[in-house]
Amino acid sequence: MRLIHPVTAVALLSGILGCRSTESFAPGGLRQVTVQGLEQTVQLTPAQPDSGQEVHILSVVTNRSAGPVAVESRICGLDLAGNVALVMNYVRCAGYSQSVVLAPGDSVTGSDMRVVSSPPGSYTLLVRQLVQPSAWVEVPVVVR
């Protein structure tokens, strides 16, 4: 039986459940205001992965507007695109998205884990957590 580290379990559960919070789980990440007053923060860990290394992608969408905003957020992973090659290395749940209403200052969290298969170089990763309203965040990635 393989045990899961408690920090890994919390990260996976937050992504699977789409936890809502008033705190940002990705301090220092790339922040971009997307649509309807929503701010998406994306953080890669490690920030500059090696080729063949597992990378954790954490996305937090926070409502920065003065009123509530209805969103449909990914669960069980994130939508990823761009020119960096990432390989899925685990089985994920069968859910795709859930609808929530974010109060001002409230957040919804999503995460994914992949293995970098691109050779060393500079790339672009596109990350989508919100299905509705749809928003993609462009993240520069340096593979060592």
CATH number of the domain that 120 lies in?
Answer: 2.60.40.10
Whether 114 is covered by a domain: the verdict is yes
pLDDT given for residue 29 in this prediction = 65
Domain assignment of residue 49, given as a range:
6-143
Report, as an integer, the average pLDDT of 84-109: 92
Whether 94 is covered by a domain: the verdict is yes
Residue 112 has pLDDT above 60, yes or no: yes
Whether 113 is covered by a domain: the verdict is yes
Higher pLDDT, 74 or 14: 74
Q: Taking all residues of the chain, what is their mean pLDDT, rounded to a whole number?
A: 82
b/e per residue, 83-112, with b = 16+ CB within 10 A?
ebebeeeeeeeeeebeebebeeebbbbbbb
Number of independent structural domains in the chain: 1
- Per-residue pLDDT of 41-64, as tens digits, reads 999 999 999 999 999 999 999 999
Whether 1 is covered by a domain: the verdict is no
pLDDT given for residue 20 in this prediction = 37
Whether 81 is covered by a domain: the verdict is yes
